[in-house]
Amino acid sequence: AIDINKLRDLTGAITIDPGYKNSGSCKSEITFLDGELGILRYRGYSIEELAESADFLEVSYLLIFGELPTTEQLEKFENDIKKHSLVNEEMKSIIDGFPKTAHPMGVLSSLTSALTAFNPKSVNVDNEKEMYEAICKTIAKFLVIATWTYRKSMGYPLNYYDNTQGYVENFMQLMFKLPTQPYKASEVVINALDKLFILHADHEQNCSTSTVRMVGSSHAGLFASISAGVSALWGPLHGGANQAVLEMLEEINKDGGDTDKFLAKAKDKNDPFRLMGFGHRVYKNFDPRAKIIKKAANEVLGTLGVEDPVLEIAKKLEKAALEDEYFKARNLYPNVDFYSGIIYRALGIPTDMFTVMFAIGRLPGWIAQWKEMRENKEPIGRPRQVYTGHPLREYKSKK
Ligand code: ACO
């Protein structure tokens, strides 16, 4: 094998690979995906099986610690998360400083970073106990502050984690419980959310995960690294696509439902419009998560008795795009974001919280990848460049 470092020292050769389309940044045992065959597995288990039968914290444990938990291990994990679910009261004054109109993802990224101030100890990765505690803390507090971004934007009082309920149930009560009324989300809702979170839980070296690993590679703490991941996820080419999809579907609906018109726009190279929720850097056949989510969208809306015209538009758009030569030639298929927003909407989640939902789901993946990176003692991430600017110039002031 060629030793790339020796080759570089000898020749000065640097590989230019914008967007890292062909560069592997690490070896990883966490998630396997085959973009040609549409395969996704967490720690060797197929996403289809996990989405069908497992629950979110079980999958989180699997991703982070490498094996499915026993009943005792899972119970302990859930209890340890509960133990850390209180968020420092001073965090509330930070939230109060944001305008009500602030996007929840911006607030979430800031609050996650702010958690560092209240938990200043950097995680000693050689100390299993300390690492475990940091993981439970992150999982617990991230859920609470994620929902606080919504409560704040609505001007509602902030809710606290209810230790008598499970993690996903807690998400719903943290979001929607009103002060004087008891709150219990229905089983259909909990199952749908469990499935959605599992489907988003990891996706190997995507933009936000690579960001988490990169930031963590300087030995920045877990909260700081996750906060950077949230910012990376926010963009419309990544997690922000789920919000963009729904806004696009609503626009098509308002416009009279003419999907062909929007398809033509997406194909027009002079028009920056892209069909949101279509295409993927790795999946060039189909995104297995999209198949599961489409089925779930039909089931959830059917069970809840929700009739949403945007679901029909999404199906029409998908069918037309799959038959279209432009989309076929470029292997553009619906991705995980195409149908997820329709389910979120049916569950009463506001559009600008969709990417926050993605972040809650992706959290265990970020943690697992951060942990693996640190345990493998990976070097600091520091890509090279080819300089294309001016040669040496003499300084002459232009003042
Ligand atoms: N609509 C129209 N054309 C598209 C789309 C789309 N959604 N996606 C890609 N294309 C076209 C490009 O214009 C390009 O055409 P060309 O070869 O004629 O220039 C070709 O397909 C390849 O596209 P790239 O942008 O080079 O592919 P890349 O792998 O860099 O990008 C991405 C992947 C960012 C996901 C892209 O498909 C996209 O912008 N999709 C819409 C946004 C989206 O849904 N993002 C969510 C991704 S999944 C996730 O992060 C969870």
Query: Tens digits of per-residue pLDDT, 193-216?
Result: 999 999 999 999 999 999 999 999
- Is the pLDDT at 286 greater than 90, yes or no? no
- In 3D, which of 193, 192, 191 has the Cα closest to residue 143? 193
- The answer to whether the CB of 340 falls within 8 A of the CB of 354 is yes
Active site annotation includes 280: yes
Question: Which of 55, 280, 287, 324 is labelled catalytic?
Answer: 280
Q: What are the tokens at 124?
A: 């000693």
Confidence band for 11, pLDDT divided at 50, 70 and 90: confident
CA–CA dist 200, 114 (Å, integer): 25
Which pLDDT does position 25 carry in this prediction?
94
Confidence band for 219, pLDDT divided at 50, 70 and 90: very high
Which of the two residues, 286 and 254, has the higher pLDDT score?
254
Q: How far is the CA of 358 from the centre of ligand 1 (A)?
A: 19
Which pLDDT does position 1 carry in this prediction?
67
- Is the pLDDT at 363 greater than 90, yes or no? yes
Q: Which residue has the CA at smallest separation from atom 44 of ligand 1?
A: 277
ipTM: 0.95
Active site annotation includes 103: no
Which pLDDT does position 119 carry in this prediction?
86
- Is the pLDDT at 353 greater than 80, yes or no? yes
What does pLDDT average to over the chain? 93
Which pLDDT does position 113 carry in this prediction?
95
- Is the pLDDT at 12 greater than 90, yes or no? no
Per-residue burial over 358-388, b if 16 or more Cβ lie within 10 Å, else e, is bbbbbbbbbbbbbbbbbeeeeeebeeeeeee
Q: How far is the CA of 32 from the centre of ligand 1 (A)?
A: 22
Which pLDDT does position 284 carry in this prediction?
86
CA angle 105, 383, 230 (to 5 degrees): 10
Hey, what amino acid is at 292? I
Which pLDDT does position 240 carry in this prediction?
87
Q: Which residue has the CA at smallest separation from atom 30 of ligand 1?
A: 281
Q: For tokens 């409560």, what's the residue?
A: 151
Provide the β-strand partners of residue 42.
31, 45
Q: What are the tokens at 127?
A: 């100390």
For the entire predicted model, the pTM comes to 0.92
State percent of the chain over pLDDT 90: 81
The per-residue pLDDT for range 142-151, each reduced to its tens digit, is 999 999 999 9
CA–CA dist 11, 366 (Å, integer): 36
* Burial class of 27 by CB neighbour count within 10 A (0 to 12, 13 to 18, 19+): exposed
State percent of the chain over pLDDT 70: 100
- Is the pLDDT at 4 greater than 80, yes or no? no
- In 3D, which of 5, 17, 20 has the Cα closest to residue 210? 20
Q: Which residue has the CA at smallest separation from atom 17 of ligand 1?
A: 330
Give the residues surrounding ligand 1 with Cβ less than 6 Å away.
Answer: 19, 237-239, 241, 266, 274-281, 330, 332, 335-337
Confidence band for 121, pLDDT divided at 50, 70 and 90: confident
- The answer to whether the CB of 243 falls within 8 A of the CB of 354 is yes
Q: How far is the CA of 278 from the centre of ligand 1 (A)?
A: 7
Residues 36-55, mean pLDDT to the nearest whole number: 96
- For the packed helices 187-200 and 337-346, what is the interaxial angle rounded to 10 degrees? 160
Confidence band for 169, pLDDT divided at 50, 70 and 90: very high
Question: Which of 55, 202, 324, 337 is labelled catalytic?
Answer: 337
Q: Which residue has the CA at smallest separation from atom 31 of ligand 1?
A: 281
